[in-house]
Each structure stands twice: as C-alpha cells, then as structure tokens.
Structure 1
Amino acid sequence: MQRFSISLTWSICLVGFHAMIAAPVCAKEFKVLSEQTTTGFGHVESVAYDPKAKVLYTSDFGPDLKPGDKDGKGKITKVSLDGKIIEDGFLPAKGQTLNKPKGIWIKDGRLWVTDIDSVWEFDLKTRKGRKLDLPGIVFANDVAVIGEALFVSDNRSDQLVRVEPADFMERFAAPKITVLFKDKSIFPNGVYPGKSGTLLMVGFKGKDEPRGIYSMAPNKDPELLSDNIGMLDGLYMTSDGDVLATDWMTGSLFQWNKTTGVKKLATDFKGPADFCAFPNDKGLMVVVPDLVKGELRFVQLGK
C-alpha cells in the first residue's frame, strides 16, 4: 500500500497506508462509533483500499470455503466505500485464473494478491497480470510491499519469503525469491510494514496453539512483541506503534500495545480475516471481511 490531517481530541497522526493503503492513524484508545454489515459476497478473505480511486478490492474464494483447492473459482471484486459491489469479478481477466486469492496489497496502481503457491501482480488500469510461482510455498497468505521488496507469508509451512523486485510485471528476468525464515514456530499470517524498516507479522496456528504479534528487523530473526494471543489474521499498525489485528479464536477485531495489552473493538465474527483501514472525517474506518459468513463489516473507529 499520503498524508492527511484530522482534528480529534486524542490527536490523530496520519502517515502511511494499509495494504492497501494509506495512512496509519496515531491514536490513544479507539472507540467503535458505528458498525455496518454488507452481504452478497462469496467467501471474502482480504480487503484492500485504493487511495487513488477511493474504492475497495476484495479477494473472494467464490462459492466454496475450501482455501487450498485449485478450483479456478476465485476472483477480485471492486466495491464502493459504502459496501456496494461496483464490479463483481473485476479480476481475473480473460486468460487468467485465480483459485483461492487471499492477502492483497495495493500501491501505485498495482495490486498484488497471493493464491495458494503463487503471487499475482495486476495493473488496475489495464488488468494485465503476471503470476509468479513460489517454490516451497504451500499456503501463500498475506503480502506487503516495503521499498522495492514484496514479502509473502505462509502460515501452513511456517515461513516468510521476500520477492525482489516487488514490481515484476514487466521484468524479463525472474525476480529473486529469498526464504527469510522457516520453521520458527511462528506460522505467519498477516504482514505489515513496521517502524524503521521492520516487518510486523501475526501468527496463526490452532485453537490450542495461540500465537502473537512479531517484529522482524532486516537480517534479524523475528521477535515476539506480545503474549501469545490467539489465531491472528489481519494486521495494521498506527504511527505510534499500536496494532490492530483480527483473531479467529475470539472472533474479534482488537487494538494492542505493550502498555494496555489487548482491547477488543468489534466482536461476533465467525472468520475475521485480512482487513483494511483508511482515515475519514470521523477517524478511522476499518473494513473487516468475515470469511465464513461472506460479509464485510464496516467498523467506524473514533475518539
């Protein structure tokens, strides 16, 4: 995945973006101001915000909740900021095939999305796409771009890989793929840019094996920042270091920092997956896909 300013009593700082995006928000403690749910989707795993077009893109498994099946039924759908479907199956274009697309990242008119053992890069204007196979990856989950590198998590084979350059669409030579770690008992799911060139990630294993929030500096091993919290999926970081994440174990969207720990913000999800967040005139809008229900929940956060 610009800079904004919003006047709120708890002083919001806006700098960056979500995977979509633009602008992590610096906040004390968020409160949920409102929630709205939209339906009409298949099984949505990830949502990304395009700050240029001011629209959302969702990765959708289609009718079957079988995340590892190569059934050719996956799609990317274009959605308005009020949850209306603008174009169902915006991607793939003719001649392209998506199976179970998951994590999405958007930057400068390009969209990256994982798909089981590969990652795609698409041009949002022309819809041209290029698929990159990821040897050794069995369940490509989330993606994030930092600088010229693309990071891809695999929570089933417990590894993280880096693809360089991130923009490989027009490149003749194959990009370089580097395994950054494997078998660290992290099982990385969501990934997101941290501070000072670090990469944040959250772990997803099983109900009896909770994982936490991790940070990884360049050329270093991942470091556990939090307690082991749950089965964590989506991830976003504010400019003051607070983390928003989703947890399948508790069915919630929560806020975390080292001082206050976990604070649940929205609950009663069946499958809270990879969300996006973007600033608006009320504070921060968080769009959380419920993979199991096939819904999008718009959670308005503010003072």
Structure 2
Amino acid sequence: MKKATFLLLLLAPFAGQAQVHLEKLWETDTTQLRTPESVLWDPSSKSLYISNIDGKPWEADGKGFISTLAQNGVVQTAQWATGLNAPKGMGISKGKLYVADLAEVAVIDLRTGKILRKIAPEGAKNLNDVAVGPDGDIYVTDSATSRIYVIKGNKAELYLENAEIQRPNGIRWVGKRLFVFDAGKGGFYEVNADKSLKKLAEGMPSGDGIEPLGDGFLLSRWAGIVHHLSADGKLTQVLDLTAEKKNTADIGFDPQKRILYIPTFNANSVVAYQVH
C-alpha cells in the first residue's frame, strides 16, 4: 500500500492537478457490522479487516470485534476476532494484526484470529490509530494525551508528545515519512526527522483516516467528509455524507484497483468507492 515513487512526487510542485472523483460501487447491509470504525485492506489475503466498536467509542465493555469482508463487500466472517472493547485503527506487521483498543494494543494472529497478547503503553488513555513503520515497528496515536507511542517487539515507549496536535488520530507511514492527522483543530502534519512538525493542511476538524493517493492524500473526517490533498497543497472536498447521516471514519484503500473503503460508524456499514 506504500509506494516509494510517492516520495518523489510529493516533493515536486505540480501544476494543473487532476480533479479526484468518487463513484460508489457498493455498500454492505446494516445487519452484521456494529459501529465500524476502521477498514484495513490486506493485499496478501485480498480481504478487508473491519474494526467494530459495537457500543460507546471509549467504553470497556468487551463487545468489540473484528470482521472480515471480501473485496466485493460480502461478509466472510462477521466476528473473526472477539474479546475487544472499542477497537479502532489497525495495522499488519509480520503476520500479526495490531489493533488500537482503548489503553491497549491487541496483537492478533492473522492465521487464527486469536488474540496473542495485549500491550499497554504507559500513560495511554484513548489509543486511536495504528501505522506500521519502515522496520515493522508499530506506531499508535493517543487522542487524549497528544502522544504517539511506538511498539518494538513487546515493548511500548513514547515516541512523540506535542501539544500542537490536539487529539491526534490518523497516522500513516509513507516510505520513510510519517504523517499525522489532528482530530481537534483539523491539522495535517508531517513529522520531521527531529520530531518537529510541518503543517501541510488545516481546517479539517474531526480528522480521521489517511491514505496516500498517487501524488497526494485522501483524508477522511469522522463527521462525514473526505478531502483530497494534492502535492501542491490544494485541499478539495470530494465527498460529503453528512446529509445521509453517515460518518467517514478511518478509511482503507486498495491502491492497485483504486478503491476507497469507508466505515460509516453510526450507520453500521462499509461503503466502497472507485477513485477516478
């Protein structure tokens, strides 16, 4: 899902960026998914992993689970992994699925769907999104503390704490570059090598998912809006589902087929869009 060529494109100024358009392909019914928060496309299995909160977003009620979907939207296993509370962002590394779940990161065996262990970063409160680094390490945002943690093996440690990021949510590595999306003020940042921040865009409250798209990004806002950010910094709204009372939480993307997957949270469905 990460393309090395993207790094060069991002550095180059672009004139006459092509407009991005979304064409709806399908939507799941509302009978099997329960407050879906995040979608992760797995090119190895050709499946989608869906985190289901099934309750209040920050409540430890033991009701959360992970579903698997085929790429056409058919539910493969409604409750592939259980024993979670309010699962949100996910990432795959070395045969394991890492899931942000309140103050813990659950480590799940991809072969069996069984939880192998749970890792609790010290001081964590509201872990939200997960990204896999260049070396396979796991990075996770904490929306309550303005922190980013890194998990190396079975050990979690603080990676970054910066009050400029209010309620950090979306996080994504693209090659060797790290990006963070702020749910509070709605800023989108690159984290520099010295851990200072470079603001790339702003004005997107309830910032959530990050997906690289060629020379730019698709950025989702939980409130029900998706933007395209081009390499030259132009921010364009490409989808608004607020009138349909559907959220656009932590999106997933298949870069080969250019299909965007949107978990609608309170609407209890996942919607797929062809990106043109």
TM-score bin (small chain): 0.7 to 0.9
Q: CA deviation at 1:154?
A: 1.1
The match for 1:236 is 211
The match for 2:58 is 68
Q: CA deviation at 1:219?
A: 3.0
Q: Normalising by structure 1, what TM-score?
A: 0.79
Q: Structure 2 vs 1, CA of residues 176 and 33 (structure 1 numbering), >3 Å: closer, same or farther?
A: closer
* RMSD over equivalenced CA pairs, Å: 2.2
The match for 2:200 is 225
What amino acid is aligned across from residue 195 of structure 2 in structure 1? K
Q: CA deviation at 1:28?
A: 4.2
Structure 1 spans left out of the alignment, 5+ residues: 4-12, 16-26, 169-174
**Distance (whole Å) between structure 2 residues aligned to residue 258 and residue 215 of structure 1:** 13
The match for 2:141 is 153
Residue deviations 1:85-119, cap 9 Å, x none? 11111003xxxx20000001124432110000000
Q: Secondary structure at the match of 2:123?
A: coil
Q: Secondary structure at the match of 1:292?
A: helix
**Distance (whole Å) between structure 1 residues aligned to residue 95 and residue 198 of structure 2:** 33
**Distance (whole Å) between structure 2 residues aligned to residue 156 and residue 268 of structure 1:** 27
**Distance (whole Å) between structure 2 residues aligned to residue 2 and residue 245 of structure 1:** 16
Structure 2 spans left out of the alignment, 5+ residues: 8-16
The match for 2:171 is 191
What amino acid is aligned across from residue 104 of structure 1 in structure 2? M
The match for 1:23 is none
Does residue 135 (structure 1) correspond to residue 119 (structure 2)? The answer is no
**Distance (whole Å) between structure 2 residues aligned to residue 2 and residue 273 of structure 1:** 20
Aligned partners of 1:49 and 1:106 also within 8 Å: no
**Distance (whole Å) between structure 2 residues aligned to residue 230 and residue 148 of structure 1:** 30
The match for 2:230 is 257
**Distance (whole Å) between structure 1 residues aligned to residue 19 and residue 127 of structure 2:** 33
Percent identity of paired positions between Structure 1 and Structure 2: 25
Query: Structure 1 or 2: larger strand share?
Result: 2
- In the TM superposition, structure 1's runs of 4+ consecutive aligned residues that sit over 6 Å from their partners are none
The match for 2:84 is 98
Q: CA deviation at 1:239?
A: 4.3
**Distance (whole Å) between structure 2 residues aligned to residue 77 and residue 258 of structure 1:** 34
Q: Structure 2 vs 1, CA of residues 252 and 132 (structure 1 numbering), >3 Å: closer, same or farther?
A: same
**Distance (whole Å) between structure 1 residues aligned to residue 261 and residue 188 of structure 2:** 20
Q: CA deviation at 1:218?
A: 2.9
Query: Structure 1 or 2: larger helix share?
Result: 2
Aligned partners of 2:93 and 2:136 also within 8 Å: no
**Distance (whole Å) between structure 2 residues aligned to residue 229 and residue 213 of structure 1:** 8
**Distance (whole Å) between structure 2 residues aligned to residue 260 and residue 199 of structure 1:** 17
